[in-house]
Amino acid sequence: MADMKGKSREEIIQQDIRDLHKLGYAQQLFREMGGFSNFAISFSIISILTGAILLYGFGLRFAGPVINTVGWPLVSIFVMIIAASMAELASAYPTAGGLYFWAHKLGGHRWAWVTAWFNMIGQITITSGINIAAAIYIVGAVTRIFAIPGDTTVPVFGSLTNWYFYVFIMVLIMIPQILINAFGIKLTARLNDISVYWHIGGVIIIALLLTIFGKTHNPLSFAFQFVNTTNPYDFASAELADGTVGPALYLGNPITLEPLFVLPSPLFAVLPFLTDLYKAAPFLLVFAIGLLQAQWTYTGYDASAHVAEETVLARLNSAWGVFLSVAVSAVVGYIVLMALTLAITDIPSTATDAYPVLKVAYDNLNTFMANLVAIIIAGAMWLCGLSSITSMSRMWFAFARDGGMPGHGLIKQIHPKWRTPVNSILITCALAVIMLLWSGAYYVVTAISVIFLYWAYGIPILLNLRNKQRKQGEYTTPETAPWSLKQWGPLLNIISVIWILLITVFLVIPPNELVLWTTVLICVFMLIYWQVDVKKRFAGPTKADEEELRKIEADMAAAAHGKAGDD
């Protein structure tokens, strides 16, 4: 991109539009985002003050402090390799379709459709998981800050811990997120920029407060301890219909932890050796299960690719946004995790607490400082949800633009004044809420979001690797992708695919067995839907000619100025 040096912003944007035209799309969205804003949206969705905080107790209960000290950097390294492989593709194909469009160019319309559906499901479930978890956390934080008794009742819902009250709070959280996303990318980008400073500044404040004013200062050796508080066999078990307790396939209420339905575990029946393995709880097993904490945190960094059509100098800025969001999160996340871990007063009680990070804060700091920590984390979670909606709505818009889903004609519409996919924003947010009306869905959506997003990440990487090895079809080169891995590309692509396969296994074994069978059912549904309907009509992205693209852009400009009726 050396030819861009010395060019004005408008000249760079015109080149971006020409690049987009070559991919077959018109410039319907406003290009308002610079490189920092593009990085900021993915960094905000990763949100080390959301994922790493919400699942802090999950990792701790299975493996103890070592899950943070060793597990976090281990996952970070592999995720950076995946991000680098994706960044190269983002540089070659700077379009809002992102992963879906990459898969089409590299493997055809079938792979594109599968990738898009995996990405759509992942985007909806990650937004659901982020905002409902934020609602639960905010209720917990507010009760602590204002010393509200846990048995306080609220109108209509009754208990503060009523699941539908949490969903109600989630809706209240999402209303401003939706409005901000609808009113234009400029405001969204500005808040994403603020989110970066909020996260990094918040981590520094939390680390300094715990280090300087904290009552507990564990030695470094404490952070490398392996402590199994919860046996995985017990965690995967429930009371069965015959009154016995054993490995079960069950869906539980995340508040009361009481099973909503219980069946004997099919996986333990098929693989009986799992009983002894889970009872023994060897280090490698519980360590692998505990990695969900870090792996769930590292989701959503494909957002930088999804806003490529709203980014200036997209070929470079989108690629750097994908990669740097992971790299910076790795460092900043490690700082906050180490600060929290070295301040733990008691491992078992912290690991099993409903709000383990708040427990660490209130155990160590005075009320004012602990409240400050709670507010910092709550703000970060809200900003994370805001960015997730941006990415989700752009991905759905891009797929609808090519007719890949039911209702695509409505979802693909762009607001003439705000130039945002308002219908896509509203529909995807409604789906994110609807799927959580059943309280038992909470744990399923969090794990499924990781699996489906990483499958969507992995398919284009695998196709790119395949084409490179065969020297057939399209694949990234230094000429087509200014952000290039060069000779390191194939090796990093192979490592990426292997890690995605490994984490798929980690995330579907008990206690996440329900995720395994839910994933199977979703894939069966996709296969039937493809055979019955989609394969007859879906051809993937259809490239328009230059004249048609210019007309689309002219119509958008006319509509924005209230002149659509004069055409």
Q: Give the HSE-up count for residue 278: Cα atoms under 13 Å, Cβ half-sphere.
A: 21
251 and 324 housed in the same domain = no
194 and 298 housed in the same domain = yes
Note the pTM of the prediction, 2 decimals: 0.88
Residue 448 has pLDDT above 90, yes or no: no
> Which tokens sit at 151?
């048995």
34 and 95 housed in the same domain = yes
Among 4-18, 37-51, 478-492, where is mean pLDDT lowest? 4-18
Report the percent of the chain where pLDDT is more than 90. Answer: 49
C-alpha–C-alpha distance, residues 266 and 507, integer Å: 16
When pLDDT is averaged across residues 292-317 and rounded to a whole number, the result is: 85
What is the residue range of 264's domain? 232-277
- The neighbour count for residue 13, using CB atoms within 10 Å, is 18
When pLDDT is averaged across residues 132-160 and rounded to a whole number, the result is: 87
Across 182-335, the runs of DSSP E, i.e. the strands, are 237-239, 245-252, 259-264
CATH number of the domain that 347 lies in?
Answer: 1.20.1740.10
Alpha helices in 435-531, H assignment, sequence order: 441-470, 489-508, 513-529
pLDDT tens for residues 260-297?
668 899 999 999 999 999 999 999 999 999 998 899 88
pLDDT confidence band for 552 (50 / 70 / 90)? low
**What does the mean pLDDT of the chain come to?**
86
493-530 in b/e form (b: 16+ CB < 10 A) is: bbbbbebbeebbebbbbbbbbbbbebbeebeeebeeeb
Q: What is residue 263's predicted lDDT score, i.e. its pLDDT?
A: 84
Q: Is residue 427 part of a domain?
A: yes
pLDDT confidence band for 370 (50 / 70 / 90)? very high
Q: Is residue 98 part of a domain?
A: yes
When pLDDT is averaged across residues 561-565 and rounded to a whole number, the result is: 50
pLDDT confidence band for 542 (50 / 70 / 90)? low
> Which tokens sit at 554?
């002219």
209 and 356 housed in the same domain = yes
Q: Is residue 158 part of a domain?
A: yes
Longest dimension (CA), the chain: 76
Q: Give the HSE-up count for residue 171: Cα atoms under 13 Å, Cβ half-sphere.
A: 12
Among 9-23, 308-322, 333-347, 360-374, where is mean pLDDT lowest? 9-23
- 138 to 142, 297, 390: CA distances (angstroms): 6, 18, 22
When pLDDT is averaged across residues 506-520 and rounded to a whole number, the result is: 87
Residue scoring higher pLDDT (111 or 24): 111
Q: Is residue 1 part of a domain?
A: no
Q: What is residue 6's predicted lDDT score, i.e. its pLDDT?
A: 62
34 and 79 housed in the same domain = yes
When pLDDT is averaged across residues 459-481 and rounded to a whole number, the result is: 94
C-alpha–C-alpha distance, residues 192 and 38, integer Å: 9
Across 222-341, the runs of DSSP E, i.e. the strands, are 237-239, 245-252, 259-264
Q: Is residue 176 part of a domain?
A: yes
Q: Is residue 18 part of a domain?
A: no
Q: Is residue 565 part of a domain?
A: no
pLDDT tens for residues 216-236?
999 999 999 999 999 999 988
Phi-psi region of 281 (alpha: psi -120 to 50; beta: other; left: phi over 0): left
pLDDT confidence band for 9 (50 / 70 / 90)? low
When pLDDT is averaged across residues 307-332 and rounded to a whole number, the result is: 89
124 and 245 housed in the same domain = no
Residue 18 has pLDDT above 50, yes or no: yes
89 and 68 housed in the same domain = yes
When pLDDT is averaged across residues 247-271 and rounded to a whole number, the result is: 74
Residue 565 has pLDDT above 80, yes or no: no
Of 277, 308, 343, the one marking the end of a domain is 277
Domain count, the chain: 2
86 and 152 housed in the same domain = yes
Residue 447 has pLDDT above 70, yes or no: yes
Q: Is residue 21 part of a domain?
A: no
75 and 158 housed in the same domain = yes
C-alpha–C-alpha distance, residues 526 and 523, integer Å: 5
pLDDT confidence band for 548 (50 / 70 / 90)? low
169 and 299 housed in the same domain = yes
532 and 386 housed in the same domain = yes
Ordered DSSP codes for 81-108: HHHHHHHHHHHH--STTTHHHHHHHHH-
Residue 11 has pLDDT above 80, yes or no: no
pLDDT tens for residues 515-540?
888 899 999 999 998 898 888 878 77
273 and 127 housed in the same domain = no
Picking from 410, 411, 402, 409, the residue whose alpha carbon sits closest to that of residue 539 is: 402
When pLDDT is averaged across residues 484-493 and rounded to a whole number, the result is: 95
Of 277, 311, 343, the one marking the end of a domain is 277
pLDDT confidence band for 258 (50 / 70 / 90)? low
pLDDT confidence band for 567 (50 / 70 / 90)? very low
Q: What is residue 19's predicted lDDT score, i.e. its pLDDT?
A: 65
Residue scoring higher pLDDT (66 or 398): 66
